[in-house]
Amino acid sequence: MTQGDGRGGSELLIAAASVVPAGPGSPVMTPGYVALADGVITDVGAGPPPRAADLELASGVLLPGLVDLQVNGHFGVDLQTAAADGWTEVATRLPETGTTAFLPTFITAPIGELSAALRGAAALVPGLTGGARVLGVHVEGPFIAPNRRGAHNEAWITTASAAAVAELQEAGRGVLKLVTLAPERNGVLAAIDQFTGAGVLVSIGHSDATARQVAQAADHGARMVTHLFDAQRPLHHREPGVVGQALADPRLTSGLIADLRHVCAEVCGIAFAAAPGRICLVTDAAACAGMPPGRYLLGGEPIELPPGDGVPPVRADGTLAGSGLRMDTGVANMITAGVGLADAVAAATRIPADLIGRPDIGRIARGAAADLAWLGDDMRARATWVGGELVYSRSGQELA
């Protein structure tokens, strides 16, 4: 076998210098091997493979495919306003970053516009094949705190009425998977009940809530915090705020924008130490990700990507507005911040996959989907497989 895509019942045995299974307590295998067939992983082990490998990766590290729960856009495409060709572009090209599954993210907009965007997504998603898996849609807002709005348009922030929640649920039927809201706002605890009752994951974000209010949200079923430290009440030694409760409450897993600009390296290390197994990496990537400096859109409104390596985009007033981050770079950044390889990889694979209710992805284990990313020694994606199919190779050549 030469192509190594695992398609159509074919088998593929990969030997790698390092394999990170990303399971709880699973050690890094140096070396290790992974066997694929019919789109799933059939075997994984440490040491040399049981037969001659079809593909040998003599350098770098083989990981589960990366899972990103917050992608506003990429490659010049703002997903909230894009047509089908834009969605195809993003899904097809995200494997260049090692990402094999993601949640397109819509930010605060008038309820009618959000509903229209959700209906559009519901029509588009079933037809997207051949690239990264679209796990559903993340709606970030509009039930958020005006004083913690970040790059969101204050004029479009609204009250979480039962009717507004029902409209979003109906429009997003089958595709709405995650909602970010501020629990201290009027009507939001009832909204959490509505969303969780419909199987939608609720995250706390863009919030000025106290620790007690965050705990109440968790009592009602909230299980996530959106971009920890950013656009939320910070940790204080007498009022833990959103940050303190997020780190202390075992029911909550926190997204962390891993660009080392939104959150500095030392504080990223503190988060991992304070909440082991409860940090998941996100990019919060905007349309400017993977593009040169210039003007782009976030949620249909302009942002500017300044020159400079890793510099995030901003609104006209200088407010940070998403990022230009790649997911593989996010993993590398966390290693730079002192997080161990296994923990950094788990935070970008198994932990977000489990949080969104997809235990079939985000790990290298028997029976899991054969979604894999091979990162080179520079921690940049060199090859990516989705469902056992080779969907990206850095050289542009088939792996043999």
289: left (phi over 0), alpha (psi -120 to 50) or beta: beta
Report the SS3 class of residue 331.
Answer: helix
**Residue 22 CB: number of other CB atoms within 10 A?**
25
Element (H, E) at 104: strand 99-107
* Nearest-angstrom CA–CA distance, 72 and 27: 33
> Is the bond preceding residue 31 a cis peptide, omega within 30 degrees?
yes
**133-134 and 99-107 strand pairing:** parallel
Amino acid letter, residue 118: L
What DSSP designation does 355 have?
H
Residues involved in catalysis: 284
Alpha carbons 18 and 90: distance in angstroms, whole number = 29
Residues 169/176, Cβ–Cβ less than 8 Å: yes
Cα 137 to Cα 103: distance, rounded to the nearest angstrom: 5
Cβ–Cβ < 8 Å for 278, 250: yes
Eight-class DSSP state of 19: B
Nearest alpha-carbon partner for 22 in 42, 39, 54, 44: 44
Name the CA radius of gyration of the chain, rounded: 20
Pairing mode of beta strands 389-393, 381-386: antiparallel
Question: HEC string of 221-288?
Answer: CCCEECCCCCCECCCCCCCCHHHHHHHHCCCCEEEEECCCCCCCHHHHHHHHHHCCCCEEEECCECCC
Phi and psi based region of residue 395 (left: phi greater than 0; alpha: psi -120 to 50; beta: remaining): alpha
- Give the C-alpha separation, 251 to 264, whole Å: 25
